Amino acid sequence: MTRHLLFLTGTRADFGKLEPLAVAARDAGHRVTFFVTGMHLLDRYGLTVNEVRRVDGVTVHEFLNQRPGDPQDVILAKTVMGFSDYVTENRPDLIVIHGDRIEALAASLVAATNYIRSAHVEGGEVSGTIDEMFRHCNSKLCASHFVSSDAAARRVMALGEPEETIHVIGSPELDFHSRPSGVTLDEVRARYAIPFPDYGIAVFHPVTSEQDTIGAQAADMFGALEASGRSFVVIAPNNDPGSEAIFAVLDRLPKDRFRVLPSMRFAHFSELMKNAACMVGNSSAGVREAPFLGLPSLDVGSRQTNRAAAPSVVSCAAGDRATILDFLATRWGKRAEPHQGFGQGSAADRFVAVLARPEFWQRSLQKAFRD
């Protein structure tokens, strides 16, 4: 039976995880719509709605949910209003959300209060910041769960969710990284004007609970990268509170060794990672995609605390210059054994297999805590 699946995406990061699932659902015969909001519609972050528009055979609805400087609670309220209006007029059979962003929380609230079936992707994970609270809230609000690991499944069950509603599929973005990107490194370097052949990747996002110190943390980390003498492709931070302080640091970096980009096409970013010498910062890509690709990574600060334990990942504080410099001196360009703690690149197939089960659609939306 053909169903209408509505995927909410607010950032370039969650789109990379939702796209493989949406494409697989489309290919299985389902009707697919993307509700696009958040960073996707902001020029400063690369207007990544264009990435969503490139997906064939799906419907795209765009909703501007914020102005620069809006606090998180205001963004939440605006998104609830806009998303509620949309689902009232276009009632989907299933709303699919990802992770821990404020837009995802808005969608899960709307789904729960309107008794629309919902699925949460990558619940049950820990990070040590306010994002983790949002993630667990989404798990409690959503009807079904598509998690990345057995450990995540156990945590969702610890929240009182029934085991039969939890499906371990792995991390969906690994589906993309597990196959050829479709572009060459030369094409990537030409498109994004990357002048150096030997490079690391650096990404440093705000931590909402550390707004007062995040600028100093960024200055410490990028100061160490500059002192190393290495060259880096830097992807701009997301739009969480504190991003302005990070942008101020990025603006001061020497342009001959730091190529700062607002965003990249996913295929191009995948190829960039596959050929990088290392990854540094606090992006989830450093503790998930990098280990899967055997790319050595340095996890800096608290944003990904307890998220993963791959042997190729080294962790340190932003101000720990000695560890940062040692990592860049000893791990630069040294590939590790690929780590499959978050799956083998088959999440989309597992996702559509669950959707094909009649019991998935028949389960009651009246939730009860399962001890």
* pLDDT tens string 234-248: 999 988 889 999 999
* Token pair of 217 as six digits: 């943390």
Residue-range domains of the chain with CATH? 4-177+344-362 (3.40.50.2000), 185-330 (3.40.50.2000)
pLDDT averaged per 10 residues, the chain (length 371)? 96 94 98 97 92 97 93 96 97 96 97 97 86 94 97 97 97 93 97 97 93 96 98 94 95 97 93 98 94 96 82 95 98 94 93 97 94 90
pLDDT at 69: 83
pLDDT of residue 89: 96
Containing H/E element for 6?
A: strand 4-9
- Gap between the Cα atoms of 16 and 21, Å rounded: 10
Reading phi first (left if > 0) and then psi (alpha if -120 to 50, else beta), residue 366 is in beta
pLDDT of residue 283: 93
Joined tokens for residue 335: 């590939």
> Residue 185: its pLDDT value, please?
97
Alpha-carbon distances of 15 from 36, 123, 198, 358, rounded to whole Å: 9, 16, 28, 27
pLDDT of res. 68? 82
Interval 326-341: pLDDT, tens? 999 999 999 999 998 8
Q: What gap in Å lies between CA 6 and CA 31, rounded to an integer?
A: 9
pLDDT at 145: 98
pLDDT value at residue 263:
92
